[in-house]
Amino acid sequence: MSLQVTRTRVGKYELGRTLGEGTFAKVKFARNVETGNNVAIKILDKEKVLRHKMIGQIKREISTMKLIKHPNVIQMHEVMASKTKIYIVMEFVTGGELFDKIVNHGRLKEDEARKYFQQLINAVDYCHSRGVYHRDLKPENLLLDSSGVLKVSDFGLSALAQQVRGDGLLHTTCGTPNYVAPEVINDKGYDGAKADLWSCGVILFVLMAGYLPFEESNLMSLYKRIFKADFTCPSWFSSSAKKLIKRILDPNPKTRVTIAEVIENEWFKKGYKPPVFETADVSLDDVDDVFNESGEPGNLVVERREERPVMMNAFELISTSQGLNLGSLFEKQMGVVKRETRFASKKPAKEILSKIEEAAGPLGFDVQKRNYKMKLLAAKAGRKGQLSVATEVFEVAPSLFMVELRKAGGDTLEFHKFYKSLSTGLKDIVWKSEVNMNEPSSESNKQETG
């Protein structure tokens, strides 16, 4: 059976599978049909952007991001618009998330963790020097290219709805709770640079420990621990690493170490290679065209759809996997940090979707179906509004399907609780490959890395 999939062309790009989605945007895999190069395209809904009065802010963020060319930051190539959408074309990296390394192999040795931390600090420091703050540094935003070089994604685009008030401080609480600085949770305003550094400190701890410094199932208990910086470094951390982490995870932003001081730290400097890169001339003409008030038709691209039976191509399939290990296509989870999960099945696509619908009903979810896609919507609002789960079935080979469940809205932790409950009802449709059978089960393989 082959699935009828609608392929969409936008300008010279053919859009493929959805890589992720959030409140304001969706990110899709795409291919430049002229060059054959693969890219990721962030698609913003113009109406939502206008409704939230975010045009000026998004234009500033995009202009700044286009000017940022750094080896450790995902590169933005160009910006386009149709009548209803804004398309941000970005570099697509194939090495997966840095934290997949921890899921698959456990914690990193100190030297390897330091190497990634140095690259992370390079990226963050450079963007801060350009007035751009990430404000949501977390595992999903740390990617690796094919050579294993760290790339920070979503810099300056992760917090589109953020506002700086008259006091020069940011005031919106965001981010994954475990990685967020205490002053952000406190909502009394915060310095974006200090808050980003705190998140870098949590990331360094996780790389070296294999688990989070602050982990509680109860949110208030978690906040209390973060406010007091109540954590203990494992015995295998060197004393100089412990000292640096304690200086970064200082709950008082006024006494917290600065990025400049981190770069001068002896532990940080070991084997440090400052990044080498050239600043190229960048044109912002495409950004100006997209945000041109008159919206001249000549500047707009058109979405063209064509329907044909198509299988997920090999590159897209590999891009969902960690370094060609197809075992990681099958169930991989990481506590609260993953926004999606996937499994393979040899059952017919319609049977897979019916089974998911059947399992989701008793958990209090409404189901909306269209073609081989399905949206599950929680009847009750959760901690961050209604949990919404996008489900899609891809044909990988004749009679082998990949099923992806992705959080489209709501809280990531609630998504994981839902998936855990749902998966018990899906056992008989999940295909266990030989790769899978030789690996630990998802439960035993699951790190405490949240």
- Rounded to whole angstroms, how far apart are CA atoms 33 and 177? 40
Sign of the dihedral defined by the CA atoms of residues 118, 123, 124, 128, in that order:
positive
Residue 288 catalytic? no
Rama region for 243: left / alpha / beta (φ>0; ψ in -120 to 50; rest): alpha
Q: Which residue has the tokens 């420990």?
A: 209
Q: Which two tokens stand for residue 413?
A: 């932790």
Q: Would you state the structure tokens that stand for residue 116, as one six-digit string?
A: 């990634």
Calpha distance 38→149 (Å, rounded): 18
Contact present, 16 and 29 (Cβ < 8 Å): yes
Question: Distance between alpha carbon 7 and the CA centroid of its chain, in Å?
Answer: 24
d(CA 28, CA 267): 39
Residues 407 and 413: their CA atoms lie apart, in Å, by 10
Say how far apart CA 7 and CA 304 lie, in whole Å: 8
Which residues are within 8 A (CB) of 291 and not within 5 positions of it... i.e. 6 or more apart? 55, 58, 59
State the catalytic residue, choosing from 100, 125, 136, 196. 136
CB 363 within 8 A of CB 418: yes
H helix or E strand, kind and range, residue 79: strand 76-81
Angle, helix 192-209 to helix 239-248, in steps of 10 degrees = 150
Q: For residues 409 and 390, what is the distance between their CA atoms, to the nearest angstrom? A: 9
DSSP secondary structure string, 357-391?
A: HHHHGGGTEEEEEETTEEEEEEEEEEBTEEEEEEE
Nearest 5°: phi and psi at 154? 65, 20
C-alpha 274 chain-centroid distance: 26
**Backbone phi, psi, residue 203, to 5°:** -60, -45
Q: Is 46 annotated as a binding residue?
A: no
d(CA 431, CA 396): 13
Query: Looking at 96-158, which runs of residues are DSSP E strands?
Result: 142-144, 150-152
Rounded Cα distance between 342 and 442, Å, is 12
Residue linked to tokens 């990721």: 40
Binding-site residues, in ranges, read: 42
Binding-site residues for ATP, in ranges, read: 42
Q: Cite the active site residues.
A: 136
